[in-house]
């Protein structure tokens, strides 16, 4: 990648080309659970902007500039009262829309408050996450993806901190080959104890552990196709070892959702939609929404599993650069590929943080397994340039809230070799037909198994002299 393109795609602060592009989309700003305290005030750093999120005594949410308009005091430490946040310095009070409601140190007849306003952004709560729109003008509706349209009880949301640029965090999720190495376990756990754990269950309709498939089949065939929301990624592993005759193939279908999301299967009926949201150019949060097709989510179990590896209130990982991720050499030799325990998030964390805070992609040597990453970068660079020229990217979903669900629908299953498209279509149709909430939603099924109708499978550009030549 050209150095100038690497800067263009990784820098997301105010006024940057990628920052302007990302501000056309709703961004996760905080978990709802962060506001479930006696004082629901949360400092937020998002896309390089310092803000504060709060819920007033009427239950209304506000996301405003963190600095008081008077002399810059920190409103995250202000007084939550009288319908807004009051600055502790001189008592100025700001409402949820950033308007100044009171300037008590001024003369009683002062009109100053009517002239004062600080930056504020629209926010909306949906299924455990507070979403913010940092763009100009009227915000679009949240796109009608499964994670937004599912009933609240069928979802669970969590987040975690990564000490690196957002692009590194995203790209590990659209790299199907890495799972056979980074997430390799030398022994298979009981798949019946896999609830809430990534890569630990059995593939759809079988008792074959996912850990065994990843460990023994490290050369997947990877196909990807562009879609209206980003791209669909298919990884095929023909099962021809340990007495298997190759007549069946493991099919794993994941998705990249613009601008910085992925949708992947956690089990046969639970999908993870995860965003990799820039705090600034050097750090990010991953926000995950777990969406169940068949039954309400056991939130207590899911939350307890994840709290074990992070510290509150910042959701930073216990294993980190400072303690060498609690690396265990003996474990690496006998149990896991990384020596970092069994938490998949920790494996990904070490891999992406190990690239540095902003990786210099001009030093890369790309391979066949990077095809989805190359496609995403090409699409993103084109979208950034389109926005800079005053246009709108094709991958900007402008759905209204009441349209049918669009998925996107991931899959982890085993089907007949050479028939993955039919297997995918039939499997997801059956899963959704049985769902208490998704059975009547047809839009997600209408795009066909390989992507939007008419979309060809992307070519392998990894060995071209310029993999990022413009379309």
Task: State residue 451's pLDDT score.
Answer: 43
Domain boundary among 83, 98, 132: 132
Give CA separation, 18 vs 9, 174, 202, 386, in Å. 6, 20, 39, 11
Q: Pairing between strand 84-86 and 79-81?
A: antiparallel
Looking at the fold, whether 313 and 214 belong to one and the same domain comes out as yes
Task: Quote the CA–CA distance of 424 and 257 in Å, as a whole number.
Answer: 19
User: Could you give the residue ranges of the DSSP H alpha helices within 264-370?
Assistant: 299-307, 329-334, 344-353
Percentage of the chain lying above the pLDDT 70 cut? 94
Give the number of domains in the chain. 2
pLDDT tens, position by position, 177-189? 999 999 999 988 7
Looking at the fold, whether 224 and 122 belong to one and the same domain comes out as no
362 exposure class (CB count in 10 Å sphere: 0-12, 13-18, 19+): exposed
Residue 306 falls inside a structural domain = yes
Task: State residue 228's pLDDT score.
Answer: 77
- pLDDT at position 373 over 90: yes
Looking at the fold, whether 361 and 267 belong to one and the same domain comes out as yes
User: Alpha-carbon dihedral of residues 364, 368, 369, 373, nearest 10 degrees?
Assistant: 60
Task: Quote the CA–CA distance of 233 and 36 in Å, as a whole number.
Answer: 37
Task: Quote the CA–CA distance of 390 and 116 in Å, as a whole number.
Answer: 31
Q: Torsion-angle region of residue 126: left (phi > 0), alpha (psi -120 to 50) or beta?
A: beta
Looking at the fold, whether 319 and 419 belong to one and the same domain comes out as yes
- pLDDT at position 404 over 70: no
In whole numbers, what is the pLDDT of the chain averaged over residues?
A: 90
Looking at the fold, whether 178 and 92 belong to one and the same domain comes out as no
Query: Exposure pattern of 191-217 as b/e (b: 16+ CB <10 Å)?
Result: beebebbbbbbbbbebebbbbbbbbeb
Centroid of chain to Cα 371: 20
- pLDDT at position 471 over 70: no
pLDDT tens, position by position, 203-212? 777 778 888 8
CB 420 within 8 A of CB 249: yes
**Which residues contact residue 345 at a Cβ distance below 8 angstroms, ignoring those fewer than 6 apart?**
160, 286, 309, 317
What is the average pLDDT across 370-382? 94
What are the phi and psi torsion angles at 245 (to 5°)?
-100, 5
Band (402; pLDDT cuts 50, 70, 90)? very low
Residue 457 falls inside a structural domain = no
User: Could you give the residue ranges of the DSSP H alpha helices within 117-242?
Assistant: 146-149, 166-172, 210-216
What is the pTM for the complete model shown?
0.92
Task: Quote the CA–CA distance of 10 and 283 in Å, as a whole number.
Answer: 11
Looking at the fold, whether 158 and 297 belong to one and the same domain comes out as yes
CB 100 within 8 A of CB 109: no
Looking at the fold, whether 343 and 220 belong to one and the same domain comes out as yes
Residue 171 falls inside a structural domain = yes
Residue 140 falls inside a structural domain = no
321: three-class secondary structure by DSSP: helix
Looking at the fold, whether 236 and 99 belong to one and the same domain comes out as no
Residue 200 falls inside a structural domain = yes
CB 131 within 8 A of CB 125: yes
Looking at the fold, whether 161 and 107 belong to one and the same domain comes out as no
pLDDT tens, position by position, 47-91? 999 999 999 999 999 999 999 999 999 999 999 999 999 999 999
CB 335 within 8 A of CB 185: yes
CATH number at residue 105: 2.102.10.10
Domain boundary among 76, 104, 132: 132
What is the average pLDDT across 34-43? 97
Strands (E), 7-153: 27-31, 41-46, 49-55, 61-65, 79-81, 84-86, 93-94, 100-102, 120-121, 123-126, 129-132
Residue 193 falls inside a structural domain = yes
Band (450; pLDDT cuts 50, 70, 90)? very low
Which of 309, 314, 265 has its CA nearest to residue 288?
265
- pLDDT at position 455 over 70: no
Residue 86 falls inside a structural domain = yes
- pLDDT at position 335 over 90: yes
Looking at the fold, whether 99 and 234 belong to one and the same domain comes out as no
Residue 471 falls inside a structural domain = no
Range(s) of the domain holding residue 118: 27-132
Looking at the fold, whether 423 and 327 belong to one and the same domain comes out as yes
101: three-class secondary structure by DSSP: strand
Place of tokens 């997600």: 444
Looking at the fold, whether 88 and 201 belong to one and the same domain comes out as no
Domain boundary among 105, 132, 159: 132
């Amino acid at each position: 990648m050209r150095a100038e393109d690497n800067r263009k795609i990784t820098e997301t602060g105010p006024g940057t080309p990628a920052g302007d592009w990302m501000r056309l989309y709703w961004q996760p700003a905080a978990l709802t659970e962060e506001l479930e305290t006696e004082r629901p005030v949360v400092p937020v750093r998002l896309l390089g902007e310092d803000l504060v999120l709060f819920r007033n005594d009427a239950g209304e949410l506000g996301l405003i500039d963190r600095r008081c308009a008077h002399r810059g005091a920190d409103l995250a430490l202000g007084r939550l009262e009288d319908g807004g946040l009051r600055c502790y310095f001189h008592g100025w009070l700001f409402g949820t829309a950033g308007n100044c409601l009171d300037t008590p140190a001024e003369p009683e007849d002062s009109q100053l408050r009517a002239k004062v306003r600080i930056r504020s952004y629209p926010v909306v709560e949906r299924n455990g996450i507070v979403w913010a729109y940092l763009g100009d003008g009227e915000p679009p509706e949240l796109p009608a993806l499964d994670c937004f349209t599912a009933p609240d009880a069928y979802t669970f949301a969590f987040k975690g901190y990564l000490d690196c640029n957002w692009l590194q965090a995203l790209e590990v999720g659209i790299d199907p080959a890495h799972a056979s190495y980074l997430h390799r376990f030398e022994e298979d756990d009981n798949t019946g104890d896999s609830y809430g754990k990534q890569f630990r269950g059995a593939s759809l309709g079988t008792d074959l552990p996912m850990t065994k498939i990843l460990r023994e089949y490290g050369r997947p065939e990877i196909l990807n196709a562009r879609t209206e929301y980003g791209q669909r990624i298919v990884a095929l592993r023909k099962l021809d070892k340990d007495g298997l005759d190759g007549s069946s193939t493991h099919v794993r279908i994941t998705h990249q959702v613009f601008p910085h999301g992925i949708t992947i299967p956690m089990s046969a009926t639970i999908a993870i939609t995860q965003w990799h949201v820039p705090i600034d150019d050097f750090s990010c949060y991953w926000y995950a929404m777990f969406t169940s097709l068949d039954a309400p989510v056991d939130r207590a179990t899911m939350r307890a599993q994840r709290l074990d590896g992070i510290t509150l209130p910042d959701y930073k990982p216990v294993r980190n650069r400072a303690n060498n991720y609690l690396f265990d050499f003996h474990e690496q030799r006998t149990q896991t590929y990384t020596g970092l325990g069994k938490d998949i998030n920790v494996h990904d964390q070490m891999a992406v943080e190990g690239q540095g805070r902003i990786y210099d992609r001009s030093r890369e040597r790309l391979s066949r397994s990077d095809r989805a990453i190359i496609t995403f970068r090409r699409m993103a660079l084109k979208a950034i340039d389109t926005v800079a020229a005053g246009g709108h990217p094709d991958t900007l979903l402008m759905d209204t809230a009441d349209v049918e669900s669009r998925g996107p629908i991931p899959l982890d299953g085993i089907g007949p070799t050479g028939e993955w498209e039919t297997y995918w279509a039939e499997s997801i149709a059956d899963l959704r037909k049985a769902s208490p909430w998704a059975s009547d939603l047809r839009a997600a099924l209408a795009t066909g198994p390989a992507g939007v109708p008419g979309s060809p499978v992307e070519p392998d550009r990894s060995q071209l002299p310029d993999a990022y030549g413009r379309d």
